[in-house]
């Protein structure tokens, strides 16, 4: 892994060369199992869909040093500070779709490292006042592009944008830079995408920021997910899943036929969406009281609720999935929650403590309806 990352197609080809054409385990499930086994090493195999080229990449990440200093193994301190300044400059822009933008080559060469940035100050990092010559900056830019930390911007032949390796390895730093909303996919979207995929209903994802006037005019809640059809405007994940079930009853059932089964599936779904998810929402960080750590708060309450989820999935009604042998609304809610638990934002929790939850999650990820809905498969994902 000296290259730092692989294109997903290349990684999947390697996966099949090692395990054979019928490995008995899906690629996504394999990554989840491998990450659990590497937890004590502080290593993680991540997948991201880079907004620059819309390609998915896979790479091993050292979670113990998630900052631009990772690039410093082949760069001087001054070059590394220059890289940090470039990332901050690029992150302050956004393209026409609301995602990360780019800076021109002239702007890159004129980027100064003489003053510490707000993000660097917050991280306790002192940016040195050393300077680079134009040739040294050019050489540094070439090195950063060749190693995947930066990439040539598709919008401009001579521009630079954030590279796939940075999205893979520098998640905590990038998130501290307040990237545009398009790079922060709310996991509630996953529920709706899974439901649409299970029902085999084609759809198009459109990125809207919460303060977008057009979104506010259509949806008074100004929140995602928001489903727009020819004659309906729907919001709230569970309400959308219920609408899908009632509008397309002939397709894959999201609810069992019997009243008791329907109540149980709804109970699991509401446990996740109403009791757990609101306590880990990034909105908690928007107006925190003094000394409030939203990450620790979220981790505490998620850990409090995971045993309750595990208990419900240990009942005889559970099978390969939350209820019986077919995925339901409950599975659509469970998968993004477990995926979030494996995310660095929640401390990459050890899900082996919850064997039934992990088993059902793994079974779900064998299906394309779930795999294709995950946040890291969406354009613009940056590790939130």
DSSP SS3 for 159? strand
Per-residue pLDDT, 233: 79
Q: What digits encode the pLDDT tens for the residues 83-121?
A: 988 988 887 776 655 456 789 999 999 988 754 444 444
Per-residue pLDDT, 331: 96
Confidence band, pLDDT 50/70/90 cuts, at residue 292: low
Confidence band, pLDDT 50/70/90 cuts, at residue 311: very high
DSSP SS3 for 115? coil
Sign of the four-CA dihedral 150, 153, 158, 160: negative
Per-residue pLDDT, 123: 40
Closest by CA to 350, choosing from 30, 37, 27, is 37
Per-residue pLDDT, 225: 72
DSSP SS3 for 58? strand
CB 194 within 8 A of CB 332: yes
DSSP SS3 for 56? strand
CA dist 83 and 71 (Å) reads 9
Q: What is the average per-residue pLDDT within 333-354? A: 79
Q: What is the DSSP string of 216-232?
A: HHH-TT--S-EEE-SS-
| Omega of the bond leading into 225 within 30 degrees of 0 (cis) | yes
Strands 233-235 and 226-228 turn out to be antiparallel
Q: How many beta carbons lie within 10 A of that of residue 45, not counting itself?
A: 17
Per-residue pLDDT, 199: 92
More confident residue, 82 or 19: 82
Q: What digits encode the pLDDT tens for the residues 149-166?
A: 998 887 677 789 888 888
Q: In the chain, which segments carry CATH 1.20.1050.10?
A: 188-200+250-377
Q: What is the average per-residue pLDDT within 178-191? A: 54
Dihedral in degrees, nearest 10, Cα atoms 98, 296, 311, 246: -20
Per-residue pLDDT, 1: 41
pLDDT at 129 > cutoff 60: no
CA dist 152 and 90 (Å) reads 12
Per-residue pLDDT, 71: 58
Q: What digits encode the pLDDT tens for the residues 44-61?
A: 777 776 766 767 788 887
Q: In the chain, which segments carry CATH 1.10.10.10?
A: 69-163
CATH class of 188-200+250-377: mainly alpha
CB 51 within 8 A of CB 379: yes
Angstrom distances, CA of residue 118 to CA of 121, 122, 132, 178, 213: 5, 6, 21, 11, 29
pLDDT at 184 > cutoff 70: no
CA dist 1 and 6 (Å) reads 8
Q: What is the average per-residue pLDDT within 161-178? A: 74
Q: What digits encode the pLDDT tens for the residues 196-222?
A: 999 999 888 776 655 667 766 666 665
Q: What is the average per-residue pLDDT within 3-26? A: 78
Angstrom distances, CA of residue 32 to CA of 39, 47, 151: 11, 11, 28
Q: What digits encode the pLDDT tens for the residues 355-370?
A: 999 999 989 988 888 9
Kindly report the three-state secondary structure assignment for every residue of 254-291. Answer: CCCCCHHHHHHHHHHHHHHHHHHHHHHCHHHHCCCCCC
CATH topology for 69-163 is Arc Repressor Mutant, subunit A (1.10.10)
Residues of the chain with pLDDT > 70, as a percent, come to 68
CA dist 14 and 224 (Å) reads 37
| pTM (two decimals) | 0.57
Counting every residue, how long is the chain?
A: 384
Per-residue pLDDT, 65: 57
Q: What is the average per-residue pLDDT within 223-248? A: 83
Phi, psi angle pair for 30, to nearest 5°: -60, -40
pLDDT-wise least confident of 17-21, 126-130, 177-181, 373-377: 126-130
């Amino acid at each position: 892994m000296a290259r730092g990352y692989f294109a997903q197609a290349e990684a999947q080809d390697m996966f099949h060369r090692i395990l054979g054409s019928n490995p008995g385990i899906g690629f996504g499930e394999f990554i989840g199992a491998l990450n659990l086994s590497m937890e004590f090493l502080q290593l993680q195999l991540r997948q991201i869909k880079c907004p620059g080229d819309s390609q998915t990449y896979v790479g091993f990440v050292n979670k113990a040093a998630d900052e631009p200093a990772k690039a410093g193994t082949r760069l001087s301190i001054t070059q590394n500070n220059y890289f940090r300044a470039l990332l901050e400059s690029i992150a302050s822009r956004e393209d026409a779709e609301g995602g990360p933008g780019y800076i021109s080559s002239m702007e890159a060469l004129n980027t100064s490292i003489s003053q510490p940035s707000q993000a660097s100050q917050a991280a306790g990092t002192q940016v040195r006042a050393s300077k680079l010559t134009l040739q040294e900056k050019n050489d540094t830019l070439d090195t950063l592009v060749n190693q995947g930390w930066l990439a040539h911007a598709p919008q401009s032949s001579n521009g630079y944008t954030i590279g796939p390796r940075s999205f893979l390895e520098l998640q905590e730093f990038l998130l501290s830079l307040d990237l545009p909303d398009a790079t922060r996919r709310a996991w509630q979207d996953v529920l709706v995408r899974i439901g649409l995929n299970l029902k085999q209903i084609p759809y198009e994802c459109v990125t809207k920021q919460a303060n977008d006037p057009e979104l506010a005019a259509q949806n008074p809640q100004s929140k995602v997910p928001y489903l727009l059809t020819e004659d309906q405007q729907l919001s709230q994940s569970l309400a959308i899943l219920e609408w899908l079930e009632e509008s397309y009853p002939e397709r894959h059932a999201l609810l069992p036929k019997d009243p008791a089964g329907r109540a149980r599936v709804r109970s699991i779904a509401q446990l996740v969406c109403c009791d757990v998810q609101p306590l880990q929402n990034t909105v908690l960080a928007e107006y925190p009281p003094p000394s409030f750590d939203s990450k620790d708060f979220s981790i505490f309450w998620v850990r409090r609720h995971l045993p309750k989820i595990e208990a419900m999935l240990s009942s005889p009604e559970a099978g390969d999935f939350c209820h019986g042998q077919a995925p339901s609304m409950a599975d659509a809610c469970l998968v993004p929650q477990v995926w979030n638990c494996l995310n660095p934002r929640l401390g990459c929790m050890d899900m082996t403590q919850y064997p039934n939850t992990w088993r059902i999650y793994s079974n779900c990820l064998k299906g394309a309806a779930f795999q294709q809905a995950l946040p890291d498969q969406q354009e613009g994902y940056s590790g939130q």
